[in-house]
Structure 1
Amino acid sequence: MSVLKGANLLVMFLLELCVLGSAVWWGATVSAPVVMRILLAIAAPAVFIVVWALFGAAKDPRFPQKGWRRIALEVAWFGAAALLLGLAWMPIAGATLFAIWFVNGVLRLVWGQQEL
Structure 2
Amino acid sequence: MYLARGSNDDPYVWLWVLGALALYALISYGLAYRARSRRGSAHPAHDALHDLKDREDPQPPENRFFSRLIMLGGAGLTGLVAYLTSGALRVLTVGLTVVLAVAVWAYYDHRTQTRAAAQR
**TM-score normalised by the chain length of structure 1:** 0.35
Which structure has the larger Rg?
2
**Higher RCO (C-alpha under 8 Å, 6+ residues apart):** 2
Q: TM-score, normalised by structure 2?
A: 0.34
